[in-house]
Amino acid sequence: MLGTAMQALDAYAGPASFLTPLGYQSSSCGYCKNEDTSAAYYANTKELNVEHYQALVDRGWRRSGTLLYKPDVLRACCPHYTIRLPTVEFHPARDQRQAVSRWNKFVLGEPYISEAKKRYPKSKEDKTRQRNTFDLFEAVHEAEYSNLKRPPEPAHRFEVTLEPDNFTEEKFQLFSNYQQAVHHDKPEEVTRKGFTRFLCDSPLRHHRSDKDSTAAKLGSFHQCYRLDGRLIAIAVLDLLPHAVSGVYFIYHSDFEKYSFGKISALREAALAEELGLEYYYMGFYIHNCRKMRYKGDYRPQYVLDPESYEWAVLDDELRALMDEKKYVSMARENKLKKRQTDVAGGDTPMRGAEATDVEEEWKFSSSPARAAQAADEGVSILDLGMPGVPSPSELLEKFDLDNIQMAVPQAGLIVKMTDLVAWEQGAVTDKRSLKGHISELVACVGPEVAGEMVVKLTI
C-alpha cells in the first residue's frame, strides 16, 4: 500500500494543520430558521495553524469550535459574505461613540468625573482635541481601573483582560444567562459540554509573531469584562496574522441596556490596531437578514467576493445590488457588464441567453437540499457550481494533488498521495475514489493551505 516517501506522525515538524473532509451538506438556516435552506462544505480539525486559518477566512470559511465550514453563497436563502474592517480607516459613527461614552460615565460615576476634573485639569489643547476628534483608544480604555488617576475612586471597578479560551464555571454561567435571555434557549439546551465545544478549546495553536518589533500573541482567546470583580461579558476572539476575528460575544442580561455589541466592536477594532494587525473581521454580513445588517454600520467594510476572493467596499452600489439580487458577486457583475458592452455595444440591454447570470451555475439545482442530495449521490463539488470552487481542469492545472500529505494513524505515518497505490485509481470528480474525495477538500481550502495541510480521514 505504501511507498517510501513518508515520515513518522508523532515526529511531524511541518505546519500544524490536520483537516478531515466532511463533504457538502445542507442544513436549516440559522437566521430565517427554514429547513434545508442553507448548504456548505464542511471539514473538521483538532489542530489548525493560525496562518492557515487566516487563508481559509480569506476564502469565505469560518469555524464553530473545531468545525470548519465554507457556505454555498449562491444557493443560500441568506447569503453569508465575509467582511473585514481596515482598522486605520475606521471612523466610529455617532451612536457607536455614544455607547462607549455612556458606559464610561456609568463606570466612573458623576462624583468621580467632577472631582477628577478639579484634581487633574486638562490643558486647552487637550480640551480642543477631545471636542473636535474621537480617539478610539482613549475612549475604550478611559474607564478601565488601571488607567484611572486616583484618588478619587470611581463608582465601579472595570477591568478587561485577554485570557486563555479555557472553560471555567464562571464563564459557563454567563454563557447560560446569555443564551436563555437573548436567544431564548431552554435551560436544558445550554450545557457545559456544548459551551466547551463551541467557545473553548479552539483548534488554533497559540504562538507569538513579531510584527514591526511588537510581539503579538496569536491564537484563540477570551477577552473578559469584569465589573467590581464580576464577569459581565466575554468576547471570544481569534487573533490571526493580519486580523482580530470576532467569533462570538456574550454579556449578562443585567447590562442589556448598555449596547455592549457596539462597545465590544469598538474594543475589538482598537485591539487589532494596538496589536499591529490590519483588519477586524466581524464574521459574516447577511444583507437580507435585518438583525445582521448592523455590521455594515462599521465603516468602511469590505466584502469578500465569493468567486474571485477579491475585496469590494460595501458602498451604496453594492448595497443596491444586494437589495436587487439574492446573490451578488462583483466579479460576476463586471463580467456581465463587459459581455453587454462586447455583445450590444453598451447601448442595448441584453436579452435571453446573452443575459444569463446566476442560473448558468445551477447545474443541478438552486435548492440547497437538492444540491446536497446530488452530492450524496456522487456529484462532485467541482461540478456543483459552488462559487469560488475551481473546475476539474482548473484544479489539475493549479494544484499539485500528488504531493498532498495524508496521515495514516494506524501506521503512525504521514505520506504523500503518490505513496498510496489507491491514489492512481479514479478521477478528481469521482467521489467514490480517494482522489475524488481529497480533490473536493483541496478545491475548497485553496492552494496555500492545500500545499501544507495534512489530511486526516479519521479524528
Q: Give the bridge partners for 282, in sequence order.
A: none
Query: What does the block give as the cell for 88?
Result: 486605520
- Find out whether 295 and 301 touch, Cβ atoms under 8 Å: yes
Q: Could you state, in order of their start, the residue ranges of all structural domains in the chain?
A: 17-70+365-455, 80-165+211-249+259-305
- Find out whether 402 and 352 touch, Cβ atoms under 8 Å: no
Torsion of CA 305, 311, 317, 320, to 10 degrees: 40
Q: From first to last of its 459 residues, what are the pLDDT tens digits of the chain?
A: 444 456 787 778 777 899 999 999 998 877 766 666 889 999 999 999 999 999 999 999 999 999 999 999 999 888 999 999 999 999 999 999 999 999 999 999 999 999 999 999 988 888 888 888 899 999 999 999 999 999 999 999 999 999 999 999 999 999 999 999 999 999 999 999 999 999 998 999 876 665 554 456 899 999 999 999 999 999 999 999 999 999 999 999 999 999 999 999 999 999 999 999 999 999 999 998 877 889 999 999 999 999 999 999 999 999 999 999 999 999 999 988 887 777 666 555 444 334 445 555 556 678 899 999 999 999 999 999 999 999 999 999 999 999 999 998 888 889 999 999 889 888 999 999 999 999 999 999 999 999 999 999 875
0.85 exceeded by the pTM? yes
Cα separation, 57 vs 191, in Å, equals 28
Q: Give the bridge partners for 245, in sequence order.
A: 238, 281
Cβ within 8 Å of residue 84, ≥6 positions away: 243, 279, 280, 281, 282, 301, 302, 304, 311
**How large is the C-alpha radius of gyration of the chain?**
25
- In one-letter notation, the amino acid at residue 338 is K
Q: How many CB atoms lie within 10 A of CB 121?
A: 9
DSSP letters along 95-142, please? HHHHHHHHHHHHHH-HHHHHHHHHHSPPPHHHHHHHHH---HHHHHHT
- How are beta strands 413-416 and 454-455 bridged, if at all? unpaired
